[in-house]
Structure formats: C-alpha cells, structure tokens
Amino acid sequence: MPALLSLEGVEKTYWLAPNQTIAALGKIDLEVQDREFIAIVGPSGCGKTTMLKLISGILKPSKGRITIQGIPFKNSHRQLLGMVFQQPALLPWRTVLNNVLLPCEIKGQDLRKARALAKELLGLVGLKKFINRNPRELSYGMQQRVSICRALISDPKILLMDEPFAALDAITRFELTRLLLEIWSMKKNTVLFVTHNIQEAVFLADRVVVMTSRPGRIASIIDVPLPRPRKEEHLYEQSFSNCAKTIHQLLGLNAL
C-alpha cells in the first residue's frame, strides 16, 4: 500500500524579478500514512507554510512530485483536503452556521445533510448556542473553533493546519489543543500541523518533522513515544521532556 501522502524531491523557488530568485524549500522527501498526526516545526521563513500550500495545490512545486494515495496531485484531490489557517478568515456577514456550511455550498453538496453535520460539529466544539451569531460576537478562540468546523464539514481525508493557535493566549491555546486531539481521536483524519511551539508539537503528534532554515529541508523526523490518548500528565513525563529537548537541539536552541 502506498503512503496516503508522499512528497518526493519537492522543491520550491520563488521568482522575485527576472534575474532574482529565492529558494523557499530544498529537497523534501516525506511520507505520511493514513490517520497519522504529523507536526512540522522550524525557524520562521523555513517554508513550513509553503509546504502546506504545495500539498493543498495552491502552489505547484518547482521540482519533485506530490502524490495522494499513490496518484500524482490533480484538482480532484482538493476534495480530500481541508485547511485551517492562522487567522479564522470568517465571512463577517454570514452567521456561524453559514460560515461552516460555505465549503458545502461551493461544492454543491446537499445542504440539508450538511446543516445537520455542521450543528453536530459546532456542538462538539461548544458552540451549539452560537450558531446564529455573527463572527464579531465571538471571541478569537471561538472564531478559530468555527474555522476548524468549517475545515471538517466535508470530512477531509487530510487536514492541513497552519499555526491555527498561534494568536491565542496560553490557556485558550491548550484548551483548543485538547479539543483538537478529541476531534482527531473520533474522526481520525490525517493531520499536518505547523507550529512554532515545540511542546505543542510533541503533545499532539505521532511524529515531528524538524525543518532547517531556508531553504527548508528536513533535518530530522522525531517519533513521539507518548501513548494515546494523550493526557495532561504526559507533559510532565521524562519521555516528553527528552523528545522536546531533542527538537530544541536540532533547531539550535538552548535546551529547556
């Protein structure tokens, strides 16, 4: 069986001017298995977001190829993907429920069935009472919960998450981290999660991909030894500290 997602020799170079280029990603080789949770960490500007854009089809690689279920990426693969951005990017004139339903409307899906699923998802993230509110009436953390529901409404095979909790305070961030794990344990989507937070990466992931500075390459892939389901007490175990320390060292940071 081929990997669910495979990047083979993928590189990305941006053209800034006729004779000026910048290499965002070096040669990337990565295989992601079905239902796997992958975290991606690395210095700012190392190409983490670029990698997600390549996987989603927003950008095309300069070299190499990306396959999903063994088939080179094509437009139909977008149906298998969901994406959560750093900013919630909700439409201010649409209610919470209608923001979640937006992908279904675009794809021409049965809105009656989709509406029932949207309400179920919003209940799961604690927003059942807010389905008819507008985004401006919600806190930032609540808005990000809506964006997660919007990404999940089409039941994507692969969920791409680009630093979705970066702008949140520490308490709300950990609350949404636990919520994400709860949803993942039920839905079992394959997740690629970009973050600058090493502890968050270790707590969430099966494996952590550690990137070099630009042009981004994979310095190492760290297996996380923690059992599932993940619990708060795992944060204080020696295996957690050892894993986080290894990633710190790979990134050239001072170990905790």
SS3 content of the chain, % helix, strand, coil (to 5): 40, 25, 35
What is the length of the chain?
256
Measure the CA angle with vertex 87, ends 81 and 93; round to 5°.
95
Which pLDDT score, from 0 to 100, does residue 255 have? 43
Q: State pLDDT tens for residues 128-179.
A: 999 999 999 999 999 999 999 999 998 899 999 999 999 899 999 999 999 9
Q: Which residue has the higher pLDDT, 211 or 106?
A: 211
Cβ contacts of 151 within 8 Å, gap of 6 or more:
82, 83, 84, 159, 161
d(CA 36, CA 190): 5
Question: 240 and 202 in contact (C-beta within 8 Å)?
Answer: yes
Which pLDDT score, from 0 to 100, does residue 29 have? 97
Kindly report whether the global pTM for this prediction surpasses the value 0.85.
Answer: yes
- First and final CA of the chain: distance in angstroms? 40
Q: State pLDDT tens for residues 64-86.
A: 999 999 898 887 788 889 999 88
Nearest Cα residue to 13 out of 26, 4, 2, 22 = 22
Average pLDDT over residues 231-247: 94
Q: In what order do the strands lie in the sheet with 158-162?
A: 81-84, 158-162, 190-194, 37-41, 207-211, 218-223
Q: Determine what percent of the chain is predicted with pLDDT higher than 70.
A: 98
Q: State pLDDT tens for residues 175-206.
A: 999 999 999 999 899 999 999 999 999 999 99
Which pLDDT score, from 0 to 100, does residue 253 have? 65
d(CA 244, CA 210): 11
Please report the domains of the chain, with CATH numbers, ordered by start residue. 5-89+156-250 (3.40.50.300)
Interhelix angle for 140-152 vs 170-187, to 10°?
20
Which pLDDT score, from 0 to 100, does residue 256 have? 41
